[in-house]
């Protein structure tokens, strides 16, 4: 029967993303009349829900292929007691996650729930712990969880299956939030409890229209289920091919307004890519940090790229989230360094700039998956270094990396503005200086990438300068 509010049923939600859903057998459980609390009328309410929806519980679980990638789908039926979680719901969820672990499959919850089932009291609420444990066990096996939040997704279902997923996609206009509509403060702004608001707050990654969901979900599943042990090659340089003559020349070229930025490098490097959005702590930094996963020559590479702007705390936290997710899934990471430095305004301090930068330093340092870095513009102090891979950082000819901006160095040393250019030289911030100092492995040229096929033709523009030996023609 159609939902009077126009919501998708569980099987309609499944049909949005696949045509070959094979339902898993449901665990059996004997319960006392009217449930564990002997709630008057509970059995009758369940019977009416079953007759109305054609389902025996608030979730259906099964195997399916989504655009060619096999996954376990968990679809909530909101018409069955508001998609609420009870003990039998927990049985089905736990069994679905166990099946996913056994067959090494990603999990896709298609969520529409009002929360825990009141007629089962605390036993219903404790199902959230079962779900959290099952999700944690899946993470330990290196398998991804991609949630699709439908209308509504509230309460514990949002706080576990939804917000706890690796990637969160949302249908437009869906009600999404921990507090359901009947338990919020009377003066609460309803716009704060929407899919769009959750994306803006960094709690969800994207709003996806129903007609695009299958393709989008299929792309995410394909990208996140292809681990690779080989490091990502650094991209080819897109800007000036020649090296700067002086330190100030390096700064001037890195700050040039028309120099290629992150988007140009990512577009040239990947066949296609999908973005993650937000730090899961209430913040986003779309103007300072781009993060996601892309396909390059048939394999997946994760990316975190600074855009040339000062990076906000949310940008560092989003990058740390990206690195940790890629590390757990066994996917190599490419980072692009390009920032005058971390944002240093009062609001950045209130948002925990130091802690966010420390978190990213820690994520990169602890990563077991290979991380490759290319400095494509400004490398401004620790705010840039946090994104750089120790021992595997490269530079373009129109970039620089410095402990501090030359102007600030001159000011701290109480030198006149006329001495800024000389200070830039003394800091030794040119790409070739960085190679000589051992800070970067080498300088990539136009069309040059490490790891390309050996023996291929090499033009002068494809030379890589390395600290191991001058001009290395690995073009």
Residues 62-68, mean pLDDT to the nearest whole number? 97
> Per-residue confidence at 407, pLDDT binned at 50, 70, 90?
confident
Give the residue from 320, 158, 293, 322 showing the smallest Cα distance to 226.
Answer: 293
> Per-residue confidence at 55, pLDDT binned at 50, 70, 90?
very high
Residues 16-23, mean pLDDT to the nearest whole number? 96
Among the ranges given (5-19, 82-96, 302-316), the one the predictor scored with the smallest mean pLDDT:
5-19
Residues 268-281, mean pLDDT to the nearest whole number? 96
> In this structure, are residues 96 and 107 in contact, taking their beta carbons and an 8 Å threshold?
yes
> Per-residue confidence at 416, pLDDT binned at 50, 70, 90?
confident
Q: Does 244 have pLDDT greater than 50?
A: yes
> In this structure, are residues 203 and 165 in contact, taking their beta carbons and an 8 Å threshold?
no
Residues 348-367, mean pLDDT to the nearest whole number? 97
Q: Where does residue 297 rank: exposed (0-12), middle (13-18), buried (19+ CB within 10 A)?
A: exposed
Phi (first) and psi of residue 69, to 5 degrees: -105, 125
pLDDT for position 181: 74
253-256 contacts, C-beta under 8 A, 24 or more apart:
253/398, 254/377, 254/378, 254/398, 254/399, 254/400, 255/377, 255/378, 256/398
Neighbours of 171 (CB within 10 A): 23
> Per-residue confidence at 451, pLDDT binned at 50, 70, 90?
very low
Residues 143-148, mean pLDDT to the nearest whole number? 98
> In this structure, are residues 253 and 375 in contact, taking their beta carbons and an 8 Å threshold?
no
Q: Does 473 have pLDDT greater than 80?
A: no
pLDDT digits (tens, 9 = 90+) for 113-142: 999 999 999 999 999 999 999 999 999 999
pLDDT digits (tens, 9 = 90+) for 213-234: 999 999 999 999 999 999 999 9
Q: Which two tokens stand for residue 410?
A: 């001159």
> In this structure, are residues 111 and 82 in contact, taking their beta carbons and an 8 Å threshold?
no
What is the end-to-end Cα distance of the chain in Å, rounded? 63
pLDDT for position 470: 52
pLDDT for position 475: 36
Rounded to the nearest integer, the mean pLDDT of the chain is 92
pLDDT for position 417: 87
pLDDT digits (tens, 9 = 90+) for 359-394: 999 999 999 999 999 999 999 999 999 999 999 999
Q: In sequence order, which residues have a C-beta less than 8 Å from that of residue 455 and are 6 or more positions away? A: none
pLDDT for position 3: 62
Rounded distance between C-alpha atoms, residue 252 and residue 121, angstroms: 66
């Amino acid at each position: 029967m159609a939902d009077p509010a126009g919501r998708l049923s569980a099987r309609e939600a499944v049909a949005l993303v696949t045509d070959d859903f094979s339902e898993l057998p449901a665990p059996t459980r004997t319960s006392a009349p009217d449930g564990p609390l002997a709630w008057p009328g509970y059995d009758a309410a369940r019977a009416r829900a079953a007759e109305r929806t054609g389902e025996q519980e608030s979730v259906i679980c099964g195997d399916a292929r989504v655009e060619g990638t096999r996954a376990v789908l968990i679809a909530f039926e909101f018409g069955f007691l508001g998609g609420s979680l009870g003990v039998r719901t927990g049985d089905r969820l736990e069994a679905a996650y166990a099946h996913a672990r056994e067959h090494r499959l990603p999990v896709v919850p298609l969520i529409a729930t009002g929360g825990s089932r009141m007629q089962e009291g605390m036993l219903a609420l404790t199902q959230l712990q079962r779900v959290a444990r099952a999700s944690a066990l899946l993470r330990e096996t290196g398998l991804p969880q991609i949630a699709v939040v439908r209308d509504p997704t509230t309460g514990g279902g949002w706080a576990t299956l939804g917000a706890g997923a690796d990637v969160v996609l949302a249908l437009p206009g869906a009600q999404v939030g921990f507090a359901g509509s009947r338990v919020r403060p009377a003066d609460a702004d309803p716009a704060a409890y929407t899919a769009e608001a959750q994306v803006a707050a960094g709690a969800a990654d994207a709003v996806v229209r129903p007609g695009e969901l299958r393709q989008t979900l299929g792309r995410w599943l394909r990208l996140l289920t292809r681990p690779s042990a080989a490091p990502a090659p650094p991209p080819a340089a897109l800007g000036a091919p020649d090296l700067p003559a002086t330190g100030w020349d390096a700064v001037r070229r890195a700050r040039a307004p028309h120099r290629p930025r992150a988007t140009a490098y990512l577009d040239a490097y990947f066949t296609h890519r999908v973005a993650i959005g937000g730090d899961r702590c209430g913040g986003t930094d779309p103007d300072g940090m781009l993060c996601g996963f892309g396909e390059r020559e048939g394999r997946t590479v994760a990316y975190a790229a600074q855009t040339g702007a000062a990076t906000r705390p949310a940008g560092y936290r989003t990058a740390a989230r990206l690195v940790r997710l890629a590390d757990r899934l066994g996917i190599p990471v490419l980072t692009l360094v390009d920032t005058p430095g971390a944002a240093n305004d009062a609001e950045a301090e209130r948002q925990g700039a130091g802690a966010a930068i420390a978190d990213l330093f820690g994520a990169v340092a602890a990563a077991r998956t290979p991380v490759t870095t290319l400095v494509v513009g400004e490398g401004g102090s620790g705010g840039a270094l946090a994104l750089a891979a120790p021992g595997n950082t490269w530079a373009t000819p129109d970039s620089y990396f410095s402990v501090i901006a030359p102007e600030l160095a001159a000011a701290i040393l109480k030198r006149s503005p006329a001495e800024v250019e000389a200070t830039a030289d003394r800091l030794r911030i040119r790409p070739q200086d960085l190679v000589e100092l051992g800070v970067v492995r080498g300088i990539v040229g136009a069309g040059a990438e490490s790891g390309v096929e050996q023996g291929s033709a090499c033009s002068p523009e494809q030379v890589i300068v390395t600290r191991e030996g001058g001009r290395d023609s690995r073009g």
